[in-house]
Amino acid sequence: MPASGASPAAAHGGGVPRESTLLGMPRNMALASLVIVLTQTGLIVGLLVANRRRKRLAREQGERLRFEQILTEISGDLVEASVETLDNAICHALEKVRVMMEFQSCMLFEHVRDTQVVRILYHTDAAVREAIARREAEIPMPWLCAQFQYRKAIPLAHALQDLPADAREEQDYVRVKNIKSALIIPLHSTDGTTHGVSFCTGVAYREWSDTVISQLHALGDVLSSSVSRHRAEMELRLSEERFSKAFHASPSAMVIFRARDETILDVNESWERQFGYTYAEAAGHLPEELGIYRSEKERLRLGSLVDTVGSLRNHEITLRTRTEREVVAILSLETISIHDEACYIAIFHDVTDQRRVEEMRQSMVHVSRLALVGELTASIAHEINQPLGAILSNAEAAEMLMETENPPLDDIRQILADIRKDDLRASQVIRHIRTLVRRAPLRLLPVQVNEVVLDVLKLLSTDAQRRGIILHGDLAADEPEISADRVHLQQVLINLIVNAMDAMKSNGTTIPIVDVRTWREGPHGVSVSVRDHGHGIPEDRLPQIFESFFTTKVEGMGLGLAMARSIIEAHRGSIAARNLAEGGAMFTFTLPSGNGNGAGTRNATIGRSS
């Protein structure tokens, strides 16, 4: 019988030492069980973690997919939105994102250029939308505006704490709006505007993962480009509206025609009035079908001009209206694009009346010039008779010398040279008179004012001598040059000098001198004055003196001064008359000058008292 109290191992007999036990199990067994339990626990924990990770990833994946789906929907809505519906579409998009991401608010804003102000354009909050409508949604945010240059998203997990100390205005905004977390993303649009989107939470704080930031950045880009497109469309529409208003209200006739075949696409009311065709009659037709060009040659000439240059500026053209009336127009033409089709817009400025007035003016100038030449017949006759007389006596002298036994050839040669000189002088006078009476339009060429004065003084010298009057020239030494029509200028001077001599005829002056002075008037002008010592102009007549047909002379026409003024004004100059305290009158005209140098005067006296 085994002794009582003996251990079970001892009771086994054999004298082997008994192993220690755990919970009554053999040690090895206990350890193995522990390892198994621990491994199982580890496996279970691992499984749980993996499961949770999988779930989180699945959730994130789901959120990402949902966001991408929303973004696709938003992009589609915005692309389809018209100018009128785009505002609503953007608000709708922001609201969709707000609900999905559980934000307190979302907004799209722009940085007001060159300021520290942010202007809210769209907001999910109705009260802010009202402020936007009242144009009261501008908030000073200097710190934020300064951050735009870095073009980086600004994630604020704890908005108030994360904002730096100097962002006072931004902190105030966060406090007033009770914002917990905020994400602000600056967006640089293609039109150079800085837009931005911001998303805020108001209940809980949240971290902004890179994924969320890039998702919301993509949303911001879509919204910003829609706003830019919207603006561009609005501007285009506005400019189209403005263009259309200007086109239809313009007092100048305008026509738009297709560049490739010249088909008329549109005409304005002035064009209808001027050319006598209605829009319905003109649109869809070619100008030549309406008989607007005077000839095919003219059409081709204009066509090739437009084809080479692509535009025209102030091109004078004569066109025909429906009633075959000829219209002189100044044409300007520009290329424009209408619905991607190259077109021309042509603007006609009707100058028919001006041209007619100009023609009348020229006829009057001509008439008055003829009258002047008539007045100067005596001088002209003298000018021509003198060389003719000299030629005759020289020819007689030569004949006599030829009859001598040994004709002095040197003397005869000298006589022949004199004859040639006198002949040239006579033909020069005739040429001068011919230019003076020729009817010619104003031709502006560089002219030395002094030369013109000297020419006129020479022409009038005989007349002056006959009247016992001295013509005195006091001419600018730097020989000012102007752009003028020499013959017209001569006419003005002849008029003024003849009038001056007339005024001295009656009053028996003791100073029978007409002074003609030229001088530079500032950097851009040249002045000429004609001063006499005559009876002067009655003060009450001074205002009328340049009016046509005003004359106090029995045989006067009253055209000289009117013509003088119109010639001077056609040169963009001015003319004035005044009485002098010491007696006599002075007429002064000023013309725009060309280039010149130096200053001073030189004297020339032509004519002498008889």
Q: Is 183 helix (H, G, I), strand (E, B) or coil?
A: strand
Least distance between ligand ADP and beta carbon 466 (Å): 18
Contacts of 249 (CB under 8 A, 6+ apart): none
Question: Is 536 or 607 the residue whose CB approaches ligand ADP more closely?
Answer: 536
Contacts of 90 (CB under 8 A, 6+ apart): 78, 108, 122, 223, 226, 227
Question: Is 197 or 436 the residue whose CB approaches ligand ADP more closely?
Answer: 436
Q: Phi, psi at residue 574, to the nearest 5°?
A: -140, 155
d(C-alpha 525, C-alpha 481), whole Å: 10
Per DSSP, helices labelled H in 376-447 are: 377-403, 409-437
Q: Which amino acid is at 496?
A: L
Comparing every residue's Cβ against ligand ADP, the nearest one is 560
Least distance between ligand ADP and beta carbon 533 (Å): 10
Least distance between ligand ADP and beta carbon 537 (Å): 4
- What's the Cα-to-Cα distance from 103 to each of 89, 166, 178, 248, 423, rounded to whole Å? 19, 26, 13, 52, 108
Contact 514, 496 (CB under 8 A): no
Q: Phi, psi at residue 413, to the nearest 5°?
A: -60, -45
Q: Which amino acid is at 360?
A: M
d(C-alpha 31, C-alpha 39), whole Å: 12
Q: Is 267 helix (H, G, I), strand (E, B) or coil?
A: strand
Least distance between ligand ADP and beta carbon 378 (Å): 17
d(C-alpha 477, C-alpha 597), whole Å: 9
d(C-alpha 160, C-alpha 173), whole Å: 10
Least distance between ligand ADP and beta carbon 374 (Å): 11
Question: Is 401 or 557 the residue whose CB approaches ligand ADP more closely?
Answer: 557
Least distance between ligand ADP and beta carbon 584 (Å): 7
Question: Is 208 or 550 the residue whose CB approaches ligand ADP more closely?
Answer: 550
Question: Is 108 or 577 the residue whose CB approaches ligand ADP more closely?
Answer: 577
d(C-alpha 444, C-alpha 66), whole Å: 79
Q: Is 188 helix (H, G, I), strand (E, B) or coil?
A: strand
Least distance between ligand ADP and beta carbon 508 (Å): 15
* Largest pairwise CA distance in the chain: 207
Q: Is 63 helix (H, G, I), strand (E, B) or coil?
A: helix
> For residue 294, what is the DSSP state?
S
Least distance between ligand ADP and beta carbon 376 (Å): 13
Q: Is 211 helix (H, G, I), strand (E, B) or coil?
A: helix
Least distance between ligand ADP and beta carbon 544 (Å): 8
Residues that bind ligand ADP (CB under 6 A): 495, 499-500, 503, 532, 534, 536-537, 545, 550-553, 556-562, 585
Region for 549 from its dihedrals, namely left if φ exceeds 0, alpha if ψ lies in -120 to 50, beta otherwise: left
Least distance between ligand ADP and beta carbon 496 (Å): 7
Structure tokens at 251: 């007092």
Question: Is 294 or 505 the residue whose CB approaches ligand ADP more closely?
Answer: 505
